[in-house]
Structure 1
């Protein structure tokens, strides 16, 4: 099979390797589409440090083409269309055993998965050998839509971490794919959504996806506008979907008493952010982190997309064939798109 391998910063190319042989307790998936996440973009540009050679790709849709003898043949069949996820948790530690696979003690993007020649998540390969625990059925949509179920699953986890309630006012900072998915889910949970971004075109998209208000912080003072919109109460929940350290400090000015600040994105560079602990204490502020998703999140995300509850087509910016993997990454790292997707 062919596999796309990172060999250095801004160097990626196809290599031939052995197709994984199905094992008794594993499923072989032929990959149809894999989206390029910001995480892989940062590997490509050298922001995320990995040991080369490395195989990226974790937003994956494909078909089951072989199954081991121990696989439940009632539940799984050759030809099942599946999204692949939750492949990196150990599934044995305290956190995994309590339903928090997304926070696995041994979560490792650079694990060496079974059947791959190098470390990495492996989605940028023609085939992937996985446990049936890590596949989730989908239907009614194309593989290029299905492969971005993974980001939706992460946003489901984020929105539920904040426990958004009917009537809440929610501020979402950043109108990339993650900010817009937060917008859709929070609006459907009955919240009034405010979206902040410096890109006017993306603010228009946010409005079309359910944002009641939009703010360009280059043109208006964010905290003053939030106070104005909420009659001085400010936002009950804020999702920071940007990697910018200074934006974290901005959230402190926009959060209401007993409000929740969710740090959804990883921060680059990871600089300390100062805050007043007495303010957190006296106003009952919650500062929350969220990353990744678990089986429950994935199952519901696949169901929502399959049934058309969430339309993923607006987030497909470009589609490249596997042979043009280098061009796909060069386009993705321009940061002017939602998802660039590679098809096999």
Structure 2
């Protein structure tokens, strides 16, 4: 008779409940991991609120810290052992398309949040469960930090990818718009690249946190004109790199006023609701402006993010706003969707 496990299942908009199902068994080139903690990303929050459309029932969760409890017979035993602490990521790429094969699996042509993972009772990313089957391709070792801190490694990996896509250089003036968890991680990582970081947010408390994480300048656009302040700070040159971490279309237009000649604007966040933004192609051409979209992360990003968090280069403790047990999954989501937290983490 199969062992059982609990998994949290979205059954409708605003509805999530624990369901008992069969626990999968490690076999072939798959490891069975016991999930210790899973953070609730804005992606899952939007499933809960109905902004992201999925087919119910659906299993969310992709910011995952776990440990290996069993190895399939074909898993490389020199690299992996029962007890290894791992973060699980990069599970949604097909690993077969042109983009995956050319080292850009974060932009996989078949990236699918609603895939049906082996061993799971329903479609979805699977991290809000007690156990899951994982290919070694999708496991990345961590140590020295708690599972709750390690659950934030996935967001860190996405920001590592973003900062590298922008090719932030030592001495750059960087503007980060938005001081949510992703904005603050951009502050930390860009400042460690040798950039001088300006942050913009209407929340004074979060501006203070940004300062403590390495921001040199803070701007509240409700109280000051952002473009004028950036001109003043940079002595008229403006910012070489701008990271827009907000979901608001009009903020993209604000960024146009703040970018320097030869500068880059990185659209880190998805835009909700989706809306077109007008721009002047002549200006973009004449000033050599680059617009870059970035989403997700790849294996290389995960390896380095796991190392940075394990070694304390990036401290993820400040981003853990609340921790809930799996039995309180609905309360965890109700808290997360209030929008006043960084990450709510669920222990499994």
TM-score of the superposed pair, with normalisation by structure 1: 1.00
Q: Is 1:131 aligned to residue 135 of structure 2? A: yes
Of 291, 300, 304 in structure 1, the residue corresponding to residue 304 of structure 2 is: 300
Q: Which residue of 2 aligns with 1:275?
A: 279
Q: Which residue of 1 aligns with 2:332?
A: 328
Give 5+ residue unaligned stretches, structure 1.
none
Of 57, 65, 75 in structure 1, the residue corresponding to residue 79 of structure 2 is: 75
Q: Separation in 2 of the partners of 1:47 and 1:178?
A: 20
Q: What secondary structure, in the 3-state scheme, does the structure 1 residue paired with 2:340 have? A: coil
Give 5+ residue unaligned stretches, structure 2.
none
Q: Which residue of 2 aligns with 1:257?
A: 261
Q: Separation in 1 of the partners of 2:271 and 2:16?
A: 25
Q: Which residue of 2 aligns with 1:191?
A: 195
Q: Separation in 2 of the partners of 1:218 and 1:16?
A: 49
Of 86, 98, 105 in structure 1, the residue corresponding to residue 102 of structure 2 is: 98
Structure 1, 212-221 or 18-27: larger mean CA deviation: 18-27
Q: Which residue of 2 aligns with 1:162?
A: 166
1:278-333 CA distance string (max 9 Å, x none): 11111100000000000000000001111111111010000000000000000000
Deviation of 1:92 (Å): 0.5
TM-score of the superposed pair, with normalisation by structure 2: 0.98
1:93-121 CA distance string (max 9 Å, x none): 00000111100000011111111111100
- The list of structure 1 runs, each at least 4 consecutive aligned residues, that deviate by more than 4 angstroms after superposition, is none
Q: Separation in 1 of the partners of 2:341 and 2:151?
A: 16
Of 219, 222, 225 in structure 2, the residue corresponding to residue 221 of structure 1 is: 225
Q: Is 1:5 aligned to residue 2 of structure 2? A: no
Q: What secondary structure, in the 3-state scheme, does the structure 2 residue paired with 1:342 have? A: strand
1:160-218 CA distance string (max 9 Å, x none): 00000011000000001100000011111111100000000000000000000000000
Q: Is 1:239 aligned to residue 243 of structure 2? A: yes
Deviation of 1:23 (Å): 1.8
Q: Which residue of 2 aligns with 1:205?
A: 209
Q: Is 1:343 aligned to residue 347 of structure 2? A: yes
Q: What secondary structure, in the 3-state scheme, does the structure 1 residue paired with 2:261 have? A: strand
